[in-house]
Structure 1
């Protein structure tokens, strides 16, 4: 197996780990705040819903961008 494929698998593994962390840590809070907002119609729960939703999306996209940058730097140095 070539070294590039090893790093691709590591990249995919870390990305999946970041996705699962966002899924297991943020989604229960997102759902809890959404159901609380549906029951009470208080704006506080809606604000918390969007806060946790955007925080999870930001963390996932930040990990994706950082890993993509590192991986592309590695591939460019490996190819030359």
Structure 2
């Protein structure tokens, strides 16, 4: 597993939980399938910038804020 994917996955999991979403609820909010969100959170998906931007917007963040939080290890 890529350390970048792992960091992003951990950040998405933390931010999703802080926002009060279940995986299924968050997936619906983003327009993704629940299993896709689970794979992201486990660091198994190599995300496109479009997917990262959709996730960030769903969390009320910018693309760069999401990447920054993942990079800073706040996941």
Fold similarity call, TM over 0.5: no
With normalisation by structure 1, the TM-score equals 0.30
The structure with more radius of gyration: 1
With normalisation by structure 2, the TM-score equals 0.31
| Structure of higher RCO (CA pairs closer than 8 Å, 6+ residues apart) | 2
**Structure richer in helix, relative to its length:** 1
